[in-house]
Amino acid sequence: QTVNLMWSGAITGPTSDAGAPYAAGVEDYCRYANETNAVPGVTFNCIVRDDQYNNANTQRNFEEAIDLEVPIFLGYSTGGTLQLKPLVQEVGVPVVPASMHIGNIDPPNNDYIFLPTTSYSEQVIALLEFIAKESPGAKVALVVHPSAFGRAPIEDARRAAEELGIEIVEVQETGANLDYTAMLTRFAERGVQYVVHQNVAGPVAQILKDSKRLGLNLKHAGAHYTGGEDLLRLAGDAADGFLWATSFYLWNEDAPGIRLQRELGERYGRSEDIIRSVNYTNGMMAAGIAIEAVRIAKEKFGEVNAETVYQALMEMNWDSGFGVGPVTYGPDDHTGVDHLRVLQAKDGAFQPISEPFTSALFRKVHFQQ
Amino acid sequence: MSVHPVRPEDLGPILLEVNNIEVVYHDIIQVLRGVSLKVPEGRITALLGPNGAGKTTTLRAISGLLVPEDGAVRDGSILYRGRPIHNRPPEEIVQQGIVQVPEGRHVFKHLTVEENLRVGAVTQRNGSIREGLERIYHYFPRLRDLRNRLAGYTSGGEQQMLAIGRALLAKPRLLLLDEPSLGLAPLLVREIFEIVARINAEEGVTVVVVEQNASAALSVAHYGYIMEQGKIVLEGTAEALSENPDVKEFYLGVAKSGGRKSFREVKAYKRRKRFM
Amino acid sequence: MTYFLQLLVSGVVVGSIYALAALGFVLIYKASRVINFAHGQYIAVGAFTAYALAVFLNMSVWLAGLIALLTTALLGFLTERVFLKPMVGQPIISVIMVTIGLASVIDGLVHLTPFGAGNFSFPAFLPEGGIALGGISVSYPQLLAVGFTALFLLLFGWFFQKSTLGIAMRAVADDQMAAMSLGVSVEKVFALAWAAAGLTAAASGLVVGAISGLNLSALTAIGLKVFPAVILGGLDSIAGAVVGGIIIGVLENLAAGYLDPFVPGGGTRDVFPFVVLLLVLWFKPYGLFGTEEIERV
Amino acid sequence: MRYPWAQTGNYRTSYRQDTTIFATYWEQLSLWVLIAALLVLPRFLERSQMAVVDLIVIYAIAVLGLNITTGYAGLINIGQAAFMGVGAYTAALVAPYLPFWLTLPVGGLVAAVAGVIVGIPSLRIKHLYLAIATLAFQLIFEWIVGHSPALEQGGAIAMPRVTFLGYAVGFRNHHFFWYYVALVVLVLLAFAFRNLLRTRYGRALVAVRDNDRAADAMGMDPGRTKLFAFGLGAFYAGVAGALFAYWSRAVVIEDYMLSTSIELLAMAIVGGLGTFVGSFLGPAFLVLLDINVETLSEWIKSFGITPAGIDVASGLRPLVFGLVIVLFLIFEPRGLANWWRLLRSYFKNWPFKY
Amino acid sequence: MQLQVKDVTLTFGGLNALSGVTLSVNQGELVSVIGPNGAGKSSLLNCISGFYHPTRGEITFEGHDLTHASPHQITRYGIARAFQNIELFSGLSVLENLMLARHTYLRYNLLHAALFFGRAQAEEVENRRVVEDVIDFMELEPYRKALVGNLPYGVRKRVEVARALALEPKLLLLDEPMAGMTLEEKEDMVRFILDIRAERGTTIILIEHDLGVVMDISDRVYVLDFGEVIAEGPPEVVAQNPRVLEAYVGGAV
Ligand SMILES: Nc1ncnc2c1ncn2[C@@H]1O[C@H](COP(=O)(O)OP(=O)(O)OP(=O)(O)O)[C@@H](O)[C@H]1O
Ligand SMILES: Nc1ncnc2c1ncn2[C@@H]1O[C@H](COP(=O)(O)OP(=O)(O)OP(=O)(O)O)[C@@H](O)[C@H]1O
Ligand SMILES: [Mg+2]
Ligand SMILES: [Mg+2]
Set out the domains of chain E in order of their start, with CATH numbers. Answer: 1-78+169-253 (3.40.50.300), 90-167 (no CATH)
Burial (0-12, 13-18, 19+ Cβ within 10 Å), D27: middle
Closest CA to B63 of B175, B200, B210, B205: B175
**Statement to judge: residues B92 and B222 lie in one domain:** yes
Q: How far is the CA of E78 from the centre of ligand 4 (A)?
A: 22
**Statement to judge: residues B5 and B31 lie in one domain:** yes
Domain range enclosing D253: 45-349
Is D17 part of any domain? no
Whether A83 sits inside 8 A of D153 (CB atoms) is no
Which amino acid is located at D129 in the chain?
Y
**pLDDT, greater one: B265 or B88:** B88
Is D32 part of any domain? no
pLDDT value of position B127: 64
- Strands (DSSP E) contained in chain A are 2-9, 43-50, 73-74, 95-96, 139-144, 167-173, 194-198, 219-222, 243-246, 317-318, 327-328, 341-346, 349-352
If phi over 0 gives left and psi between -120 and 50 gives alpha, with beta otherwise, what is residue E24?
Answer: beta
CB A319 within 8 A of CB A332: no
Is 80 exceeded by the pLDDT of residue A228?
Answer: yes
Number of H helices, E strands in chain D: 14, 4
Give the CATH number of the domain where residue B48 resides. 3.40.50.300
Is D50 part of any domain? yes
CB B178 within 8 A of CB B102: yes
How do residues D250-280 score in pLDDT, each as one tens digit? 888 888 999 999 999 999 999 998 888 899 9
**pLDDT, greater one: C124 or A30:** A30
Q: Which pLDDT band holds residue E253 (cuts at 50, 70, 90)? A: very low
Q: How far is the CA of E179 from the centre of ligand 4 (A)?
A: 11
**Statement to judge: residues B93 and B110 lie in one domain:** no
For an interface test with C, the pick among B59, B100, B113, B122 (most C C-beta atoms closer than 10 Å) comes out as: B122
How do residues C9-64 score in pLDDT, each as one tens digit? 888 988 999 998 999 889 898 888 888 999 999 999 999 999 999 988 988 888 99
pLDDT value of position D262: 93
**pLDDT, greater one: A172 or D298:** A172
Is D5 part of any domain? no
D124 CB neighbours in chain C (<8 A) are 281-282, 285
Whether B170 sits inside 8 A of C183 (CB atoms) is yes
Domain range enclosing B177: 1-97+172-187+198-250
**Statement to judge: residues B91 and B205 lie in one domain:** yes
Chain E: residue whose CA lies nearest to B179: E180
Does D13 touch chain E if contact means CB atoms closer than 8 Å? no
CB C198 within 8 A of CB C75: yes
**pLDDT, greater one: C287 or A134:** A134
Closest CA to D278 of D223, D323, D339: D339
For an interface test with D, the pick among C79, C277, C280, C282 (most D C-beta atoms closer than 10 Å) comes out as: C277
To the nearest whole angstrom, how far is the Cα of C297 from the nearest Cα of chain E?
7
Note the residue count of chain E: 253
Q: How many domains does chain D have?
A: 1
To the nearest whole angstrom, how far is the Cα of B174 from the nearest Cα of chain C?
13
Q: Which residues of D271-280 are buried (b: 16+ CB within 10 A; e: fewer)?
A: bbbbbbbbbb
Q: What is the mean pLDDT of residues D319-347?
A: 86
Query: Between A54, A85, A271, which is nearest D158 by CB?
Result: A85
Is 80 exceeded by the pLDDT of residue A18?
Answer: yes
Residues by chain with Cβ below 5 Å of ion ligand 3: B 56, 103
How do residues B149-172 score in pLDDT, each as one tens digit? 889 888 888 898 999 999 999 889
Longest dimension (CA), chain B: 67
If phi over 0 gives left and psi between -120 and 50 gives alpha, with beta otherwise, what is residue C223?
Answer: alpha
Is B258 part of any domain? no
Longest dimension (CA), chain E: 65
pLDDT value of position D51: 87
**Statement to judge: residues B21 and B87 lie in one domain:** yes
C119 CB neighbours in chain A (<8 A) are 17, 201-202, 205, 230, 233-234
Read off φ and ψ for residue D75, nearest 5 degrees. Answer: -100, 105
Q: What is the mean pLDDT of residues C119-144?
A: 78
Note the residue count of chain A: 369
Give the CATH number of the domain where residue D221 resides. 1.10.3470
- Strands (DSSP E) contained in B118-214 are 174-178, 206-211
Read off φ and ψ for residue E171, nearest 5 degrees. Answer: -130, 130
Is 70 exceeded by the pLDDT of residue D354?
Answer: no
B107 CB neighbours in chain C (<8 A) are 175, 178
pLDDT value of position B1: 45
Does D135 touch chain C if contact means CB atoms closer than 8 Å? yes
pLDDT value of position D28: 76
DSSP state, D58? H
Does D155 touch chain A if contact means CB atoms closer than 8 Å? yes
Q: Which pLDDT band holds residue D70 (cuts at 50, 70, 90)? A: very high
- In whole angstroms, give the CA distance from residue A71 to residue A92: 9
B267 CB neighbours in chain E (<8 A) are 191, 194-195
How do residues A311-323 score in pLDDT, each as one tens digit? 999 999 999 999 9
- Tell which one of C293, C294, C296, C297 to mutate to probe ligand 2, the residue whose CB is within 8 A of the most ligand atoms: C296
Handedness of CA A197, A199, A200, A205 (dihedral sign): negative
Does D292 touch chain A if contact means CB atoms closer than 8 Å? no
**Statement to judge: residues B70 and B133 lie in one domain:** no
Contacts of residue E102, Cβ cutoff 8 Å, sequence gap at least 6:
D200, E127, E130, E131, E166, E167
Residues with C-beta less than 6 Å from any ligand 1 atom: B 25-26, 29, 31, 49, 51-57, 69, 71, 103, 212; E 152-153
How do residues C179-206 score in pLDDT, each as one tens digit? 999 999 888 889 999 999 999 999 999 9
Angstrom CA distances, C43 to D78, D86, D338, stand at 22, 33, 36
Chain E: residue whose CA lies nearest to B273: E137
Reduced to 3 states (helix: H, G, I; strand: E, B; else coil), residue A178 is coil
Q: How many domains does chain B have?
A: 2
Is B270 part of any domain? no
The structure's pTM equals 0.88
Is B154 part of any domain? yes
Segment among A134-148, A186-200, E67-81, E178-192 with least mean pLDDT: E178-192
Reduced to 3 states (helix: H, G, I; strand: E, B; else coil), residue E212 is helix
pLDDT value of position E184: 78
Q: Which pLDDT band holds residue D22 (cuts at 50, 70, 90)? A: low
**Statement to judge: residues B129 and B16 lie in one domain:** no
Whether B65 sits inside 8 A of C177 (CB atoms) is yes
Angle at A143 between CA A141 and CA A145, to 5 degrees: 165
Subunits in contact with chain C (3 or more CB pairs closer than 8 Å): A, B, D, E
Angle at A363 between CA A362 and CA A366, to 5 degrees: 75
Which atom of ligand 1 lies closest to the CA of E150?
A: 31
Is B237 part of any domain? yes
Closest CA to C204 of C109, C75, C69, C79: C69
Is D24 part of any domain? no
Whether E249 sits inside 8 A of B155 (CB atoms) is no
**pLDDT, greater one: B100 or D156:** B100
